[in-house]
Structure 1
């Protein structure tokens, strides 16, 4: 049985055009009608995922910034928030800039960058969010005294390359590091992950992990796929994610979420016979 169903957004719920298919919408509507709690767990900021969450009428708070924030889309109540603290953020920024990354910060649900450039424009092509270009990011943090919900480090968008192991090692001593494809890095405070956020959400509703299903397509989804009683990988996921999952559904361009939902309830009906 499934009582809580959670999906990643990019590469899972959303197709390559950043749209939710009619089949996925219908399947999620049926899910809620069966009394299942449904929401989204994403690396995106709250304002970026909000239109999709409203379209799907999620009936639980959304998980944003890879688990750093749990927030209700209707009341705007924050249930959990664990940002990267200022001193750690400044240290990470230094490592990333010296390694050639474009650094995105997320402060007060705004995208904060040093300047507008090609990589920022690339990011904004699939994220409609408010942007502040503030100059030196470390100075911005020192002046405001605020941490950042997440740091997104954008690599070379024209010639994606694997993450340098030495850079990864330096960063992982300060923050939690995950990847979302393309050689880009997603950095959070230590202990922050989609899996831990999903556990927090399940506990809020007194739902055992055996009754939780989670779907994702990338390494930053791995923790919630492993936490869930029924972990689902998209067909477009890396092999490691598929290996760790209980089930591999179709791709994000083939209504993979709808296919997974139908599989779960078909299985439940068989078990009920």
Structure 2
């Protein structure tokens, strides 16, 4: 194998949002063996590149669920953007129905001011079901003060800008509202709706996917897809798991993900990425 593409949340990161020393050591081992490493995430490029900087991870980066692909040197290799009219229609509907949303663009990560209040209300409802688990999860996630979020007064101030739009992320803890939002956009001819969390849906261009991102990156590196490994845990990873020559599902992945893969590793809290890498390399895990 010559390229390993790894999802972040629920895969490389444990439940505390950390990269374990075991996972870091396994990635270093793979890179010393000449294997290219890519991060494939639904996060924005700014978030993912900052993550790589902070963790010292020298990796290629596939972001916004495959809508943009960057080399490890930061060179943009490909981008599949949403049409401005589509963004306008999506945001107008989400704003009207009080969904918390974020727009990933070339200029940054946008939301509306009132959406932050909606998000607080959503997280309060979620935290009421499990205060310890959810309050901490979302404090370090969507509510993290380190996220490069740009709040504006209205959605119109986002879609009126001349810029590339990569992804729209929507979040709700209401199961019926989540279903309705996903259904509203999933049959649009130019759009794809995927999910990376239990309480979200994400809208990208029909031609964008993590699988597309892996293909673009592999081609730029002159690597056959048969020499690619993909590791993931969620619905938005399915396309890259299908594209790769060898696919690995996390132990914490849902059953349909596991059923589609060549190998099932341990969970993200049991250093599943490290176990997968050493399995692929035919090595024993260091004590």
* TM class by smaller structure: 0.7 to 0.9
Question: 1:57 and 1:131, CA in 2 relative to 1: closer, same or farther beyond 3 A?
Answer: closer
Q: Report what 1:271 is aligned to.
A: none
Structure 1, unaligned runs of 5 or more: 268-273
Runs of 4+ in 1 over 6 A off after TM superposition: none
Alignment of 1:89-238 (within 5 A): 89-115=87-113, 116-117=116-117, 119=119, 122=138, 123-126=141-144, 128-142=146-160, 144-156=161-173, 163-164=178-179, 167-173=182-188, 174-238=190-254
Q: CA RMSD in A?
A: 2.2
Q: Report what 2:63 is aligned to.
A: 64
Q: CA deviation at 1:169?
A: 4.8
CA distance in 1, matches of 2:238, 2:177: 19
CA distance in 2, matches of 1:229, 1:56: 27
Of 239, 256, 260, the match for 2:272: 256
Q: Report what 2:49 is aligned to.
A: 50
Question: 1:57 and 1:182, CA in 2 relative to 1: closer, same or farther beyond 3 A?
Answer: closer
CA distance in 1, matches of 2:182, 2:222: 40
Contact 1:85–1:146 (Cα < 8 Å) also in 2: no
Question: 1:128 and 1:172, CA in 2 relative to 1: closer, same or farther beyond 3 A?
Answer: farther
Structure 2, unaligned runs of 5 or more: 124-137
Contact 1:161–1:182 (Cα < 8 Å) also in 2: no
Using structure 1 for the length normalisation, give the TM-score.
0.88
1:175-215 per-position Cα deviation (integer Å, ceiling 9, x unaligned):
11101122300111111000011011111111111110000
SS at match of 1:198: helix
Contact 2:235–2:257 (Cα < 8 Å) also in 1: yes
Contact 1:45–1:109 (Cα < 8 Å) also in 2: no
CA distance in 1, matches of 2:22, 2:234: 22
CA distance in 2, matches of 1:40, 1:15: 15
Contact 1:105–1:113 (Cα < 8 Å) also in 2: yes
Number of residues of Structure 1 aligned to a counterpart in Structure 2? 261
Structure ranking higher in helix proportion: 2
Question: 1:240 and 1:126, CA in 2 relative to 1: closer, same or farther beyond 3 A?
Answer: farther
Of 66, 74, 77, the match for 2:75: 77
CA distance in 2, matches of 1:26, 1:195: 26
Using structure 2 for the length normalisation, give the TM-score.
0.84
